[in-house]
Amino acid sequence: MIAARRLMTFAGLLLAWQGIVWLTQAPGYILPAPVAVAAAFVAHAGTLAHHASTTVVEIVSGLLLGSLLGFGSALSLSSWRSVRRWLLPVLVVSQAMPVFALAPILMLWLGYGMASKIAMAVLIIYFPVTAACFDGLRHTPRGWLELAATMRATPGNLLRSIRLPAALPAAASGLRVATAVAPIGAVVGEWVGSSAGLGYLMLHANGRMQIDLMFAALVTLATISLALYFSVDYALKRALPWHRQTLADDEEENQ
């Protein structure tokens, strides 16, 4: 039922796309028809797969590294007051600087390879992950903390058995946001300077008026982002079964 509905939405979008091409009579170098894009997919399958694999590695590495960094920062922020005092303002100020503006500097420092793209992805997800995890760690329900206090919990055990698991749902929201924005970081990095990746392929195809290939790369990128998001979402739901019980009904409906 859900699959049928999604398929219909997809078919509807394709039809609308084709309809616009027919109506506006746009030339292929402005808006290629779906069939032309599909043909580009077939013709350039090898090229697309090669560049897509580069981008996937950049996104996933950035996601892993950024999440670990964010989680670690949140943990130290919540554990030590002095860290909070020094690091929190730095974090907030760092957000005032547009990450995209840093891309050329990262190229300069880390080169044209994958490192600079991974760094972009890390930078762009670091703050949402840190903020979400820190929030989760700060808002352990008071009742649990008091119960643990009467049980004479050691700080380490309290963190491990109550505060960390209690923060997981918030951390999961941060991770979902991170998964959604990490591809942006990687692709922006590729635009600024690279020799591989879907971002590079799009610029390259654009320069050579291969707009159908450019669209094919765009569709590939969107598919990768969606697949990544839904896998992470699915894994998080499986990992936190107790959290699902507390979700509102309408949220279940939308899945």
Partner 1 sequence: MSAAAPPGVHVRIARLAYADSLIFSGFSLKLEAARCTCLLGRSGSGKSSLLRALAQLLSASVCELQIECSDHLPLTGRVAYMAQEDLLLPWLNVLDNVTLGHRLRDRSHNRPEVRDRATRLLGDVGLRGSARAAPGELSCGMRQRAAIARTLMEDQPVVLMDEPFSALDAITRLDLQNLAARLLHERTLLLITHDPLEALRLGDAIYTLDGRPANLSEPLRPRGPAPRPAGDEQLLALQARLLGQLSASVP
Per-residue contact flags (x/-) with partner 1 for residues 145 to 184, judged by CB under 8 A: -xxxxxxxxx--xx--xx--x-------------------
> Considering the complex, what minimum distance in angstroms separates the CB of residue 161 from partner 1?
6
Burial of 145 (0-12, 13-18, 19+ CB in 10 A): middle
By beta-carbon proximity to partner 1, the closer residue of 242 and 253 is: 242
> Considering the complex, what minimum distance in angstroms separates the CB of residue 132 from partner 1?
18
Residue linked to tokens 């119960």:
147
Taking the CA atoms of residue 7, residue 11, residue 14 and residue 16 in that order, the dihedral angle to the nearest 10 degrees is -130
Half-sphere exposure (Cβ direction) of 19: Cα atoms closer than 13 Å = 6
Report whether 103 contacts 172 (CB < 8 A): no
Runs of H (alpha helix) within 80-113: 81-96, 99-110
By beta-carbon proximity to partner 1, the closer residue of 46 and 241 is: 241
Residue linked to tokens 């739901």:
237
> Considering the complex, what minimum distance in angstroms separates the CB of residue 212 from partner 1?
50
Instruction: Confirm or reject binding of residue 39 to partner 1 (CB under 8 A).
Output: no
Report whether 59 contacts 194 (CB < 8 A): no
Tell me the number of residues near partner 1 by CB under 8 A.
22
By beta-carbon proximity to partner 1, the closer residue of 5 and 152 is: 152
Report whether 212 contacts 47 (CB < 8 A): no
> Considering the complex, what minimum distance in angstroms separates the CB of residue 18 from partner 1?
48
> Considering the complex, what minimum distance in angstroms separates the CB of residue 17 from partner 1?
45
Phi, psi of 153 (to 5 degrees): -70, 140
Q: Which of 207, 245, 248, 251 touches partner 1 by CB under 8 A?
A: 245
> Considering the complex, what minimum distance in angstroms separates the CB of residue 141 from partner 1?
8
Instruction: Confirm or reject binding of residue 242 to partner 1 (CB under 8 A).
Output: yes
Residue 175's nearest CA partner among 233, 91, 241 is 233
Binding to partner 1, residues 202-221 (CB under 8 A) = none
Residue linked to tokens 């107790």:
242
> Considering the complex, what minimum distance in angstroms separates the CB of residue 171 from partner 1?
13
Report whether 220 contacts 45 (CB < 8 A): no
Q: How far apart are CA 206 and CA 188, in angstroms?
A: 15
Per-residue contact flags (x/-) with partner 1 for residues 107 to 146, judged by CB under 8 A: ------------------------------------xx-x
By beta-carbon proximity to partner 1, the closer residue of 164 and 218 is: 164
By beta-carbon proximity to partner 1, the closer residue of 60 and 168 is: 168
Say whether 28 sits in a helix, a strand or coil: coil
Binding-site ranges for partner 1 (CB under 8 A): 143-144, 146-154, 157-158, 161-162, 165, 240-243, 245-246
